[in-house]
Amino acid sequence: MAQRSGKLPADRTVHWRGDSALTDGFSQGVDLVGGYYDAGDHVKFGFPAAYAVTMLSWGVLEFEKEMVAANSLNRALDAIRWGTNYFIKAHTEPNTLWVQVGDGDSDHLCWERAEDMSTPRTASKIDASRPGSEVAAETAAALAAAAKVFRHYDSMYADLLLMHAKQIFTFADTFRGRYDDSLQCAKKFYPSASGYQDELLWGAAWLYEATGDQDYLDYVARNADAFGGTGWAVREFSWDNKYAGVQVLLSKVLLAGGGDGDYADTLKQFRAKAEFFMCACIQKNGGNNVRTTPGGLLYVADWNNMQYVSSSVFLLTVYADYLAESGDKLKCPDAEVAPAEIVAFARSQVDYVLGKNPLSMSYMVGHGDKFPTHVHHRGASIPSVYAVNDTVGCMEGFDACAASSPASPPNPPPPFVHAVTNSWEYNGVDHYRHTVTAKNTCGHPITYLKLRIEGLTGPIYGVSATQDKEMYGFPSWVTRLDAGEKLTIVYIQEGGPAAKIAVAQAVGATDERSRASETERKDA
């Protein structure tokens, strides 16, 4: 949620973020508002963003029941749709795809909030004369995977996603070429080391998953050797290198009983390469293993290694499930491995990330008692726009980044469900009663709180208006909220429909930095 660009919804779970980049693409005659920022910066790189949506969709497809049990499915669907809506916008013609907004060089020179961006928002596209098969095929994969996710929830939207996925894949395959040759602005930041053949196989595999159309499986089988799918034995799965993912997806077809006929030999080769990856991860590959740290963490690359850990764990887990469903085992050079043993290794990696490591430190921000509090993220390291409304300039944010205490909470407020606690009609006008409970978990007094209220069509009573549109203060009699204290207020809205409301920001008395309070909505 912290990475979303554009007009943010009122029910967002990261309350310290505001609307941003509301004119992306306009100067070039296209609407590119929305989508996701890349990392701690504000460039929208289409290649890694599409991979993220593909993986999130795959996760929903494999673990939908678990997400329902964890009350996380709707948020996952919203996150996927936020990405796919943007990809649909970016696909303005059958053979045109806008794949980047923003300039990495100038963006990285500044440290400012997304709401204050002052750097160029130039948009870049690929087309028939400037091909980019990697990013096009990955976008097709994302849309196809998402189409399969939404098939049971919104069939018309799934059809729309598939239409774009098919067109974009045809574009990627017909006009072949490396995207980082066409776009020098992307080459410095996300160069394509593995080429585009893995993405073409990946895109076709996902279109087969989403449609069951044998033409896409035939495409993968015909090109398996020439594109490296059955030749590359890899120990990495990432935004750049999709071979392991393709090999696992095609192994699924074989293990599910689809290995008869013309595709049998090719699918078996895919499985052999998938098992090389699995055996290398679990350290049973005859010496050709993925490196590990002294504490036992998979160590694929020096830069941002956790991305490789998480992607490897995902493939290990889904492959173990495929084996279990087929009653089979993983056949490694060092041993024959049962699915439960693969899952146990995957769990050890997750446990390491969450704190079971030599430092007893969680590497997931906000999880556990000890975790990073100074993250390389512009929005999270500068006081929120709701706490400090003045513009933070290009260079001014570096001071906040270097501050001794984090500016925005490393563990943002949990989501809450908006509920109208009562409603009635008086003199032909609808009225609504709301109750908000805010709890100060900062460890020091909070002296200023704000509510974000969207969709008001009439007056509201019980809160104080501010100069900022849609922002309201708590009642004037509330001067502070001490550490651990709860505050409950009731306010009345006149005129419908019921407004969308969130506790947006709280500022502490000690350093006046942005501190968000834990919030919850309760029925009165």
Q: Annotated catalytic sites, by residue?
A: 376
Contact by Cβ (8 Å): 161, 147: yes
Query: Which are the contacts of 265, defined by CB distance < 8 A and separation ≥ 6?
Result: none
Compute the radius of gyration of the chain from its Cα atoms. 25
Q: Name the DSSP class of 358.
A: T
Name the token pair of 236. 């990495």
Whole-angstrom distance, CA of residue 270 vs CA of residue 246: 8
CA–CA dist 137, 125 (Å, integer): 14
For residues 244 and 312, what is the distance between their CA atoms, to the nearest angstrom? 9
Residue with tokens 């008869």: 260
Closest CA to 327 of 232, 255, 251: 255
Q: Enumerate residues 6+ apart whose C-beta is below 8 A from 385.
A: 16, 18, 113, 115, 116
Contact (CB, 8 A) for 141 and 87: no
Instruction: Assess contact for 94 and 171: CB atoms under 8 A.
Output: yes
- The answer to whether the CB of 131 falls within 8 A of the CB of 182 is yes
- Strand 44-45 relative to strand 97-101: parallel, antiparallel, unpaired? antiparallel
**Secondary structure (3-state) at 498:** coil
Which stretches within 175-305 are classed as H helix?
179-182, 184-187, 197-211, 214-223, 243-253, 264-281
Report d(CA 94, CA 96) in Å as an integer.
6
The residue ranges of DSSP E strands in 77-235, in sequence order, are 97-101, 123-126
What residues have CB less than 8 Å from 287, skipping those under 6 apart?
A: none
Joined tokens for residue 517:
């309070």
